[in-house]
């Protein structure tokens, strides 16, 4: 495909060829640990009866501390024993292919830095709280852990074929902003939601956004927004179903998608399994 210029990104100074850096744990300040602690307590209170059982099981298994940013080497001892995954520190966003390669080899890239106390709710790049508190508990679940590996492999295959935007939507609407059915009702598993106080409430309880059943092709045709709460959330029946649905070769799917237009973000389709027909009553986040 011609058109989009592929920037030849190189790792920043001090990072390894695979973009990883040392966590330099001793360099975190007391103020930085305090930010972790504040966010941790706030989210734990928020997530009761909202996050899925697998998330809580992961949190318990990792024995994440409330009072300090986790040390990756210690975290990895528990995580590796559970699912073979490891957390590696990176300076910030890394190129897609680098990210996919790590995923395909069971390494999750986590930001080393933590947001400032003045900006507890605003993030330009994923920080250690979003990445570790949000993502790593789910990586303790064997089914989800496998899904993430397959996603990484799929990303490597899709690279260079102009398909990454479609695949990124799958990541966005599952790994970051996914909801799942449970025996207790609809619950959160997406890291972008579990690490956000406001969205953990909004995603489940606001009448504004659509909540519809997950359908792979439909998800890949739906754009997303990065600057505000989502206007649509997709609900999977279970993690096992998500893995089953995505464990197919995507070639046929990509061929079909090439013939299809995007679906406007706020539009419901006739075939949608509707959990909530959004009323769009929510305006937008107040500008910072
Ligand atoms: N880099 N550090 C970091 N974290 C991400 O979540 C991330 C990334 N680079 C690319 C990327 N995500 C995308 O490929 C996915 O959102 C699909
Ligand atoms: Fe994330």
Residue whose CA is at the smallest distance from ligand 1 atom 13: 96
Q: Which atom of ligand 1 is nearest to the CA of 172?
A: 16
Question: Taking 80 as the threshold, does the pLDDT of residue 4 lie above it?
Answer: no
Determine the pLDDT at residue 9: 83
Band (71; pLDDT cuts 50, 70, 90): very high
Q: What is the pLDDT of residue 277?
A: 96
Q: Does the CB atom of residue 151 touch ligand 1 within 6 A?
A: no
CA 192–ligand 2 middle distance (angstroms): 6
Q: Is the predicted pLDDT of residue 1 greater than 70, yes or no? A: no
CATH code reported for the domain at 25-284: 1.10.800.10
Q: Which residues hold their Cβ within 5 A of ligand 2, which is an ion?
A: 126, 191
Q: CB-based contacts of 226: which residues, under 8 Å, 6+ apart?
A: none
What is the 103 CA–ligand 1 centroid distance (Å)? Answer: 10
pLDDT cut 70: percent of the chain above it: 96
On average, the pLDDT of the chain sits at 93
pLDDT, average across residues 41-66: 97
Nearest ligand to the CA of 190 is 2
- β-pair partners for 180: 187, 236
Neighbours of 240 (CB within 10 A): 12
Instruction: Give pLDDT tens digits for 90-106.
Output: 999 999 999 999 999 99
Q: How confident is the model at residue 123 (pLDDT cuts 50, 70, 90)?
A: confident
Q: Any idea which ligand is nearest the CA of 195?
A: 2
pLDDT value at 43 more than 60: yes
pLDDT class for 7, splitting at 50, 70, 90?
low
Inter-CA distances, 275 with 10, 20, 139, 271, 278, Å: 44, 41, 27, 13, 9
Model pLDDT, residue 163: 87
> In angstroms, what is the span from residue 90 Cα to ligand 2's centroid?
13
Q: Is 109 in the pocket of ligand 1 (CB under 6 A)?
A: yes
Look at residue 148 and tell me whether its pLDDT is greater than 70. Answer: yes
Q: Higher confidence at residue 1 or residue 253?
A: 253
pLDDT band with cut points at 50, 70 and 90 for residue 122: confident
Ligand 1 atom closest to Cα of 168?
17
Ligand 1 pocket check for 96: Cβ under 6 Å = yes
Q: Which residue has its alpha carbon closest to ligand 1 atom 7?
A: 93
Average pLDDT of the segment spanning 127-153: 97
Average pLDDT value for residue range 111-132 = 92
Residue 124 is predicted with a pLDDT of 79
Q: Where are the domains of the chain?
A: 25-284
Residue nearest to atom 17 of ligand 1 (CA): 168
8 — pLDDT class (breaks 50, 70, 90) = low
* Ligand number, closest to the Cα atom of 167: 1
249-281 burial code (b ≥16 CB/10 A, e <16): ebeeebeebeeeeebeeeeeeeebeebbebeee
Q: From the CA of 125, how far away is ligand 2's center (Å)?
A: 9
What DSSP letter does each residue of 137-185 carry, written as one string? HHHTSHHHHHHHHHHHHHHHHHTTTT-HHHHHHHHIIIIIT-EEEETTE
Centroid of ligand 1 to alpha carbon of 33 (angstroms):
24
Query: What's the whole-number mean pLDDT along residues 266-285?
Result: 92
| Cα 70 to ligand 2 centroid, rounded to whole Å | 17
Instruction: List pLDDT tens digits, range 181-209.
Output: 999 999 999 999 999 999 999 999 999 99
């Amino acid at each position: 495909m011609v058109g989009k210029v592929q920037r030849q990104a190189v790792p920043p100074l001090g990072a390894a060829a695979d973009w990883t850096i040392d966590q330099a744990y001793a360099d975190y300040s007391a103020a930085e640990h305090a930010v972790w602690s504040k966010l941790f307590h706030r989210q734990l209170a928020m997530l009761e009866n909202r996050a899925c059982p697998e998330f809580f099981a992961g949190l318990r298994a990792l024995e994440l501390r409330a009072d300090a940013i986790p040390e990756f080497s210690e975290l990895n001892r528990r995580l590796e024993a559970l699912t073979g995954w490891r957390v590696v520190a990176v300076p910030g966003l890394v190129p897609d292919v680098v990210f996919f390669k790590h995923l395909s080899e069971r390494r999750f890239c986590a930001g080393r830095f933590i947001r400032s106390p003045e900006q507890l709710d605003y993030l330009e790049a994923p920080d250690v709280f979003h990445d570790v508190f949000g993502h790593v508990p789910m990586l303790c679940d064997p089914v989800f852990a496998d899904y993430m590996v397959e996603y990484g492999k799929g990303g490597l295959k899709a690279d260079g074929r102009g398909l990454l935007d479609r695949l990124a939507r799958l990541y966005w609407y599952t790994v970051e902003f996914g909801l799942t059915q449970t025996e207790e009702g609809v619950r959160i598993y997406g890291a972008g939601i579990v690490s956000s106080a406001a969205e953990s409430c909004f995603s489940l309880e606001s009448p504004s956004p659509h909540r519809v059943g997950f359908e792979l092709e439909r998800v890949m045709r739906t754009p997303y927004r990065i600057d505000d709460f989502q206007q649509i959330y997709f609900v999977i029946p279970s993690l096992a179903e998500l893995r089953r649905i995505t464990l197919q070769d995507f070639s046929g799917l990509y061929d079909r998608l090439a013939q299809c237009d995007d679906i406007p973000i706020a539009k419901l389709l006739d075939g949608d399994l509707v959990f909530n027909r959004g009323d769009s009553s929510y305006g937008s986040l107040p500008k910072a």
